Structure 1
Amino acid sequence: MNNLLEHFVTLWVVIDPIGTIPVFIAVTAGLDATGRRRTALLAAVISAAVLLFFLVFGQVLIEALDIGLNSFQVAGGIILFLFALTMIFGESKQEVEQRQAEEDREDAYHQQNPAIFPLAVPSLASPGVMLAIVILTDNHRYSIADQGITALVMLSVLLVAFVLMLLAEPIIRLIGHSGAAIISRVMGMILASVAANSVLSALLEIFKTGQL
């Protein structure tokens, strides 16, 4: 149960469904209700496919490159920690991606399906999420059943993100952009703690086993 809770918190923070809401509003401003529903569904499906690919093949690719999982966990934890710092001290996720979405919408070169960019990648399936999902499904630490549960947890978070995208406008009216930014920073603090724990546990494992 502790692992399940930790995995849920980690995936919730790095995926950040609430932070995706302003991005969704920005990129679907010119669409009708049907178009918004279609965009939300496509973004959720694409991000799920990308993350499931990393869940299944991510560690295989790492080991094929002869990178020790403990080393990868340290590197991933550091990256997640830096990502958390940007959530706390820098522009929030929604501020950065909403600005980027607005700029891209004005640039004809970048006219493409918003469900793919920026919603699916990098808003929902960011590099931080890809790293997190590989660490949370380590073949040497977790059984196939455990990894399946982690996959279900990931899909449940993406399902929540999909529902929140459908309810984007009422939620923004309720909490405001400032409220969304505050929530993002709180999530950043939680992510920083999770990342630090990941690095320390990997270092402890390296000292105990001598294996990178």
Structure 2
Amino acid sequence: MNLNFKEIATASMILFAVIDIVGSIPVIISLRSKVGHIQSEKASIVAASIMVAFLFVGERILSLIGIDVNSFAVAGSFIIFFLAIEMILGITLYKDDMPESASIVPIAFPLIAGAGTMTSLLALRAEYHVENIIIAIILNIIFVYIVLKSSAKIERVLGNIGLSIIRKVFGVILLAIAVKLFAANINQLFQHGV
């Protein structure tokens, strides 16, 4: 077992920022008002399963299509970069249609285990030990579950301004992560290319 607290903490922070469940509270609240009830347990378990499965088979899927992890991580750094820009500037670059039922789609996928999360998982896989990433996923899913369960309470406590501040702070963290991810993996690509 290669348990490393620093890796767990970093991976947890990255996933926390990418999943951005706090920033998604407005979406969750509007979904709940539309469908009446959100199945928090189901959404959390499905999201965790998708993330762990992708952590193990994602690389194999990529090699089938002839893409290496570094290329995927560089592409992922762009996704994370744009997610960060959305959070900091309060704009929406990408909007999905709102479906009728809300537990697996869109909460488990793509809200929690979306493209940004998948990309981050593979990028983390390139740098960290798998067991540390899995612990980070579990910690995040527990937090996601708590947020889903108490989204109405959180909205009352934080208010719109509080939510907005949290989104912007995590946007900046995410931006820094995107730059670091890009720098680390672009070097690898050039080394392999030579």
Common topology (TM > 0.5):
yes
Q: What is the CA-CA distance between 1:30 and the residue it aligns to? A: 6.0
Q: Summarize the Cα distance change of 1:185–1:6 in structure 2 as closer, same or farther, 3 Å threshold.
A: same
1:84: which partner in 2?
Answer: 84
Q: Residue 29 of structure 1: SS of its match in structure 2? A: helix
Matched, 1:58 2:39: no
1:132-211 mapped onto 2 (5 Å cutoff):
132-138=120-126, 141-142=127-128, 146-207=129-190, 209-211=191-193
Q: Summarize the Cα distance change of 1:82–1:127 in structure 2 as closer, same or farther, 3 Å threshold.
A: same
Distance 1:59 1:49 in 2: 16
2:110: which partner in 1?
Answer: 122
Q: What is the CA-CA distance between 1:211 and the residue it aligns to? A: 4.2
1:107: which partner in 2?
Answer: none
Distance 1:210 1:180 in 2: 43
1:72-111 mapped onto 2 (5 Å cutoff):
72-91=72-91, 104=98, 110-111=99-100
> Larger radius of gyration, structure 1 or 2?
1
Contact 1:81 1:191 in 2 (8 A): yes
Letter in 1 for 2:119: L
Q: What is the CA-CA distance between 1:2 and the residue it aligns to? A: 3.5
Q: What is the CA-CA distance between 1:121 and the residue it aligns to? A: 1.7
Matched, 1:131 2:119: yes
Letter in 1 for 2:90: G
Contact 1:24 1:168 in 2 (8 A): yes
Letter in 2 for 1:75: A
Unaligned runs of 5+ in 2: none
Q: Summarize the Cα distance change of 1:92–1:172 in structure 2 as closer, same or farther, 3 Å threshold.
A: farther
Distance 1:183 1:44 in 2: 22
Contact 2:69 2:122 in 1 (8 A): no
Letter in 1 for 2:192: G
Unaligned runs of 5+ in 1: 105-109
2:16: which partner in 1?
Answer: 12
TM-score, scaled to structure 2: 0.86
Contact 2:70 2:123 in 1 (8 A): no
TM-score, scaled to structure 1: 0.80
Q: Summarize the Cα distance change of 1:74–1:87 in structure 2 as closer, same or farther, 3 Å threshold.
A: same
Deviations 1:66-92 (A, max 9, x none): 212222221111221122111111337
Letter in 1 for 2:21: P
2:49: which partner in 1?
Answer: 49
Letter in 2 for 1:130: M
2:32: which partner in 1?
Answer: 28
Q: What is the CA-CA distance between 1:194 and the residue it aligns to? A: 0.5
